[in-house]
Structures are given as structure tokens and as C-alpha cells.
Amino acid sequence: MVLSKTQRIAAVSVAVVALILFFVFRPSPLPVDSGVVRRGPLQVTLEGEGVTRVNDRFVIGAPVTGKLVRVKLEEGDSVRRGSVVASLLPVQLDNREYREASSRAGSARAALDEAIARQRRALLMIAQAERRYERYRNLYSEGAVSKESYELAENEAKTLRKEGEAARSGVEAARYNFGALEALVDRQVAGKPVPVFSPIDGRVLRIHEESERVLSAGSPLVDIGDPSAIEIVIDLLSSDAIRVKPGNRVVIMDWGGDRELQGVVKTVGPAAFTKTSALGIEEKRVNIIATLSRDEPLLGDNFRVQASIVLREEADVLQVPVSSLFRGKDGWHLFIIEDGKAVDKSVKIGMRGILQAQVLAGVRNGQRVVVHPTNELKDGMSVTVQE
């Protein structure tokens, strides 16, 4: 059958219109953002805000009730152990007050004996930890124990050394407190001031009272400590804190310096406390105490820092952006980009960091994946990668 010229023109017109409609109404590729499957180091961390504090901080209180002689020290001044940081003129004691002062002196004597006993116990624990550290160091050099066990033994020895220093300082503080109270009992003659001594070599962190005034016994006078012995207090949600262990590495950031500081978790608080968040929600939080691996002279007491606690880390793992993962019926899924189409893939993940997650199966190194997939993206849909 031979078509007429009019029929041929009509057929061509219909075909052209159909082709135009096909291109007009054909779904355009969905624009997506993409990331790359790659190998590299990965860390699982917990982020938290912390503050610095002097490790061994001593609040020197008034040993007796009396008139404070004006303090001549200034905050930041260096003091030596045994030097006078303040003086008080005690009031004349009557018989009842004398007996009370004698009792306080006896109590201070008992506190000194207790501090000496704690120091002896600390010295025994230090000696034991030193022997254990020396044994683990030899075993580690022979390959008989893991690096983690060796580092834990080393950290334990360092921690106990600091506790030994604190116990020694505690003995000195108790001795000076006893000396002050004993002096009060012996100073029934009015006009002789009772000196208040520094228990350690350090610097004045805070002066509570400067001017002359009558203070009751126990009133804080001066805070003294060693600013080079800094520790970091990081508070975390209790649900996160249970994942932290002594010995975990800590990275200190945003403290004001031009480099990150390294540290290690010393202790995890045994009890939680209630803290109200910025949104007005009451949260149970736990203090994590970390020590710096090296002293930083620019850091002082009560400075704000940002800390990252490393729970786990690997040097070379296959990983994808966390934002590419979503939950499916049978576990974790993501979309890989193949020939301009998004292909739904089921994957198995391992460690999960803040930005990247380890992939154990389902994808290959170098593949591109869709990040932040939208609900309208379906398996097999054409996509175009946004620049």
C-alpha cells in the first residue's frame, strides 16, 4: 500500500511530536551530592567540653579565729614550702576556748598521723607499680605482652607517682596545720600572731581575703598550687562515659594554642551528677579526668578546652561517609553511583566515627556513593552529581 504525500507528512509530524513529548516529559536526572569509598585511618571518638584545674590544689584556711593581718602576696606570686603566706592575731582564749583549741590540736595531730600512714601506703603501691612497669617493659621488648598492656602499666606507674606526690604534700599540709593549732595553744600571751605556712612549692592561684578583718577558724585565705601540674576535667553524658576507660588517648583542641595537645584518661568518675543543658533539659553527666602527656606552660587553672577522647582507632580501613548510610529492612544500606544511576546496596559496617564509618562488606575502594540521600531517591534512578 502506497501512502499519499499527505499521509506521509502526517506520519512524520506524529513521529516528531511523539519524540518531542518523550524528551519533554522524560524524568530529568536527580541532582545528588557524592562521596568516595576510600581506605585510610579511622577513629571512634567522644567529643566534650572541659576545663583545666591544678592537680594538687591547696586551699589554705585560717587555723584559728582571729584578726587577719593584711596579706601582702598577689595572685601569681611564687611561694616556697614553709614560707609564711598569712598571719592572724588570735583573740585571748578563755578556759572553754582553750580546751576547744587543745582538742583541735589533738585532732590535727591525729590527721597528721593519718596522712603519714597514707603516704607510707602510697609509697608501697608506687614501689609495686614500678616493679610491674619494669617487668612489662622487659616483656614488651621481647614481644611477650601487647603494647596496650605495657602502656597501661606505664600509666599506672605515672598515676601512682603523682598520688605519691599528693600524699607527701598532704603530710606537709597536715604538719603545718598541726603546728599552727599547737602554736595557738602555746600562745596564751596576746599579741603574738599565728603564722600560716605554705605546704608546697607553688604559686598563689587565688587570694580569698586580703584586707584586715576578723575571721573564724577554717575561713579560706589563699589557694596555692603548681600550675604546671594541670589536669583536664571533661564532663560527658553517663551513657557515653561508660565507654571510656583509663588509658584512652585524649586530644585537646581549641585551647588557644596553635597545636593540639596530647593526653591520656586518668580516671572515670564513679558517680554522675545532674546538669541542666542549654535547652533546659536535666542530664546525668560524669566527670572524666585526663592528664597531659607534656606540660603546657600557657595553660592555667580553670581554662576552657575542647577534648576528643579516642575510644578506638585503626590505621587503614575501608570507609564511607556516615551521611551516606541509611537504615533498611535488613540493616544498613547506601546508594552507589554506576553509569549515572543510583544503585541500592546493602552493607555491613564496623567502627563508626563522627564523619566516617568502616565498611566490612558491600562496596569497593574507589566507588562513588550518594551522601545525604533524599526520600525521593529510588534504586535505579538516574542521578547527576552536583559540583
Mean pLDDT of 256-260: 86
Instruction: Tell me if 45-52+228-314 shares its fold with 58-86+195-223.
Output: no
Cα separations in angstroms, 35 against 43, 218, 313, 345, 384: 19, 63, 22, 15, 13
pLDDT of residue 134: 87
20 or 305, greater pLDDT = 305
Backbone angles phi, psi at 69, to 5 degrees: -80, 135
Q: In degrees rounded to 5, what are phi and psi of residue 44?
A: -105, 115
CB under 8 Å to 348, separation ≥6 — which residues?
331, 332, 359, 360, 361, 362
The pLDDT, as a whole number, for residue 2 is 54
Distances (CA, A) of 119 to 116, 171, 174, 365, 369: 5, 7, 12, 58, 60
Fold of 30-42+315-385: 2.40.420
d(CA 230, CA 225) in angstroms, rounded, equals 10
Burial class (CB in 10 A: 0-12, 13-18, 19+), 353: middle
SS3 (DSSP) at 39: strand
The pLDDT value given to residue 305? 92
Q: What is the pLDDT of residue 251?
A: 93
Residue 375: per-residue pLDDT: 85
Asked if residue 42 lies in contact with residue 320, where contact means CB atoms within 8 angstroms, the answer is: no
Q: Which residues pair with 352 in a beta bridge?
A: 357
- One-letter amino acid of 368: R
At 205-220, the pLDDT tens digits run 889 988 888 888 889 9
What is the DSSP code string of 276-299? E-TTS-EEEEEEEEEEESS--TT-
% of the chain exceeding 90 in pLDDT: 22
Domain locations along the chain: 30-42+315-385, 45-52+228-314, 58-86+195-223, 93-189
The pLDDT value given to residue 71 = 86
Specify whether the CB–CB gap between 358 and 352 falls below 8 A: yes
The structure's pTM equals 0.58
Q: Which CATH superfamily is domain 45-52+228-314 in?
A: Efflux pump adaptor protein, beta barrel domain (2.40.30.170)
Kindly report, residue by residue over 56-80, the tens digit of the pLDDT: 788 888 887 888 888 888 888 888 8
Query: Is the pLDDT confidence value at 17 over 70?
Result: no
**Is 58-86+195-223 in CATH node 3.90.226.10?**
no
Residue whose C-alpha cell is 544503585: 343
Position 190 scores a pLDDT of 46
Beta bridge partner(s), residue 383: 30
- Cα angle value 155/225/298 (rounded, 5°): 75
Q: How far apart are CA 203 and CA 197, in angstroms?
A: 13
**pLDDT average, residue stretch 167-175:** 84
pLDDT at 189: 43
Over residues 321-367, the pLDDT tens digits come to: 999 999 888 889 999 988 888 899 999 999 888 889 999 998 999 99
Please, are residues 234 and 290 in contact by the beta-carbon 8 Å criterion? yes
Q: How many CA atoms lie within 13 A of 96 on its CB side?
A: 0
Phi/psi of residue 194, each to 5°?
-95, 115
Question: Stretch 11-36: mean pLDDT, rounded?
Answer: 69
The pLDDT of residue 369: 92
Q: Is the pLDDT of residue 182 over 80?
A: no
